[in-house]
Amino acid sequence: MPQHRSPSLFPRRRLLAATLLLAAASAAHAGPADDEYAAAVASCKAAPKSGTRYVAVTGAFMRPVPRADGGLVARIPIASPVQIECERDGWVRASAEQPAPSIGWIRADLLQAKAPTLASLNADYAAAAPDQRKTVAERLVALAPYQARGHQQLIDALTAAGDAEGARKAAAIRDRLLDPKPERLSGEPKLLFVVERGYVAPVARIGEDGRYQEADAGARYFPPLRGLYFFRNGGADGVAQVLDEALSDVTGEAHVRIAPATARSEQARGLASNFAATAAKPAAAAAVPAAARKAAEDALRAGLRQQKVERAQIERALKAKPDHERDLGLELHSFDAGSAGPVTVATVVWNLPPAGPDQGETSVAASAILEGDGKGGYRVAGSQSDSSAGDALETPRFFERLDLDGDSVPELIFQVGQYEGVNYQIWSRKSGQWKRVYQGGYVGV
């Protein structure tokens, strides 16, 4: 059975994006430019040169061939190291890891022997002539976008040059970086996003009638510096800000940081939206009461029996601790669900041994949502179970909760592992029962 659980999914997706970028760069060599590209590479191999240099400007364009109008491979950020292969006619052929693994030609005068630092750029700013300070300040902002000093130096340089409009725009960018605000773009419906390992991807759009639908595949949800409301553990927990949209056309997602962090984090996990779903603060995870655990295990046993799982395999599954890399084991989550009271969500995923020598594993999964009955016990208020294999693989895990419809009871969001990606389920409580009201928002590797 293929492994698809999200902790490995998102790094795989990053590698896919890098591969596609490299493929795009290779495509630039085809056609009329093919001979020029081959000649440039051959001349490089004939006179190799090694060493490391660093981008000295806000960003250096890497080209497939050594000329300014020769296409684009990547834009290498300031201070990024590049590994030199050769140098000719004012260009170097080099490889770089940022923003993605790439190789191509960069103008030699955009590189320097040592990486620029805040200290070196501040010294350059102090020594620069008035008409050169804007350039140095732009490099300061590119190197440290979340430090107020560089922004102020840029605003001062633009003001001194009489560029009032430029100073106004620089101040607006400073404010968006240092104090990001969530926003709903003009004409945009209500949207729910998932944040996983520092990436954001759309899950669903919410209609005026409260129904959930697939997000518009052709929409541009991730303009750089866009802010989104961020939620975890059922509460509002700051702002998720889009860092770039480099992946949006490749995998439907973008890098985000959770302000006030200054970079994306592998630990960032939760939900995001373009509307204020709740003002409540995140709630700490609750201990699972013994009565809830027993009721949950009984409910999962019933679900697995529906899938014709033998008793011994059921008991093995219920004793298995969560193994996220293989997407196996039992997970329990308990929390207060507003007016619904205490809720426990239980999920189990297990691989059954092959029935015969020519057959593969079958994955079985069961989920149960339990509510307190007011007498110290718990009742099953929602459940699902399934078995699957191969391309039809589906393994739901509880992901998050958030009150999306404002009825004081959070919706429950499950992440459903699939053959080469994940999608999401939304469950809502109606008339004392939890029902699945949506499944979609597929994100592939």
Residue 420 pairs with which residues in a beta bridge? none
- Mean pLDDT, residues 255-261: 93
* pLDDT of amino acid 42: 92
- Mean pLDDT, residues 158-186: 96
Tell me which residue of 441, 306, 328, 324 sits closest to 386, measured CA to CA: 306
Average pLDDT, the chain: 89
Q: Which domain holds residue 76?
A: 6-112
Q: 160 and 25, same structural domain?
A: no
Q: 108 and 124, same structural domain?
A: no
- Mean pLDDT, residues 13-19: 48
Q: 250 and 158, same structural domain?
A: no
* pLDDT of amino acid 66: 93
Identify the three-state secondary structure at position 238. strand
Q: 8-12, long-range: CB within 8 Å, 24+ apart, which pairs? A: 8/325, 9/421, 9/422, 9/443, 9/445, 10/196, 10/197, 10/198, 10/199, 11/197, 12/445
Q: 318 and 391, same structural domain?
A: yes
Check residues 111 and 219 and name the one with the higher pLDDT: 111
Q: Looking at the predicted structure, is the pLDDT value of residue 8 above 60?
A: no
Q: 434 and 296, same structural domain?
A: yes
- Mean pLDDT, residues 55-66: 96
CA dist., res. 313 & res. 21, Å (int):
45
Q: Looking at the predicted structure, is the pLDDT value of residue 247 above 60?
A: no
Return the amino acid letter for 236.
Answer: A
Q: 303 and 400, same structural domain?
A: yes
pLDDT tens track for 389-408: 766 778 899 999 999 999 99
Q: 126 and 96, same structural domain?
A: no
Q: Looking at the predicted structure, is the pLDDT value of residue 153 above 60?
A: yes
- Token pair recorded at residue 281: 């603060």
Q: Looking at the predicted structure, is the pLDDT value of residue 28 above 60?
A: no
Tell me the CATH number at 133: 1.25.40
Q: Looking at the predicted structure, is the pLDDT value of residue 445 above 90?
A: no
Packing angle of the helix pair 164-178, 148-160 (nearest 10 deg): 170
* pLDDT of amino acid 337: 93
In a domain, 282, yes or no: no
Between 72-76, 174-178, 206-210, 322-326, the lowest mean confidence (pLDDT) is in 322-326
In a domain, 332, yes or no: yes
* pLDDT of amino acid 353: 84
Q: How confident is the model at residue 30 (pLDDT cuts 50, 70, 90)?
A: very low
Q: 437 and 338, same structural domain?
A: yes
In a domain, 295, yes or no: yes
| List of residues 6+ apart from 396 with CB closer than 8 A | 347, 365, 367, 384, 414, 415, 416, 417, 425
CA dist., res. 260 & res. 237, Å (int):
11
Q: Looking at the predicted structure, is the pLDDT value of residue 25 above 90?
A: no
Using the 3D structure, point to which of 212, 244, 273 is the last residue of a domain.
273
Pairing of strands 329-336, 342-352: antiparallel
CA dist., res. 62 & res. 66, Å (int):
9
* pLDDT of amino acid 31: 53
Check residues 185 and 14 and name the one with the higher pLDDT: 185
Q: 299 and 267, same structural domain?
A: no
Q: 106 and 19, same structural domain?
A: yes
430 CB neighbour count, 10 Å cutoff: 11
Packing angle of the helix pair 133-143, 148-160 (nearest 10 deg): 160
In a domain, 357, yes or no: yes
Helix ranges (DSSP H) in 245-379: 248-251, 290-306, 311-319
CA dist., res. 240 & res. 269, Å (int):
11
In a domain, 329, yes or no: yes
For 297, list phi and psi in degrees, rounded to 5.
-65, -40
Peptide bond into 410 cis (omega under 30): no
Q: Looking at the predicted structure, is the pLDDT value of residue 250 above 60?
A: no
Q: Looking at the predicted structure, is the pLDDT value of residue 388 above 50?
A: yes
Q: How confident is the model at residue 246 (pLDDT cuts 50, 70, 90)?
A: low
* pLDDT of amino acid 162: 96
- Token pair recorded at residue 248: 């949006």
Between 18-32, 191-205, 243-257, 262-276, the lowest mean confidence (pLDDT) is in 18-32
Q: Looking at the predicted structure, is the pLDDT value of residue 19 above 50?
A: no
pLDDT tens track for 72-84: 999 999 999 999 9
- Tally the C-alpha atoms within 13 A of residue 53's C-alpha that lie toward its C-beta: 24
Q: Say if residues 329 and 360 touch (Cβ distance below 8 Å).
A: no
pLDDT tens track for 319-354: 988 887 777 899 999 999 999 999 999 999 999 888
Tell me the CATH number at 58: 2.30.30.40
* CA angle 289–293–297, rounded 5-degree value: 170
* pLDDT of amino acid 29: 46
CA dist., res. 70 & res. 67, Å (int):
5
In a domain, 371, yes or no: yes
Using the 3D structure, point to which of 112, 143, 169 is the last residue of a domain.
112
Identify the three-state secondary structure at position 368. strand
Please tell me the total count of domains within the chain: 4
Q: 209 and 174, same structural domain?
A: no
Residues in the chain: 445
Peptide bond into 354 cis (omega under 30): no
Straight-line distance from the first to the last Cα atom of the chain, in angstroms, rounded to the nearest whole number: 16
Q: Say if residues 154 and 138 touch (Cβ distance below 8 Å).
A: yes
- Mean pLDDT, residues 234-248: 84
CA dist., res. 13 & res. 2, Å (int):
15
In a domain, 279, yes or no: no
Check residues 72 and 19 and name the one with the higher pLDDT: 72
Q: 77 and 41, same structural domain?
A: yes
* pLDDT of amino acid 390: 65
Using the 3D structure, point to which of 58, 82, 112 is the last residue of a domain.
112
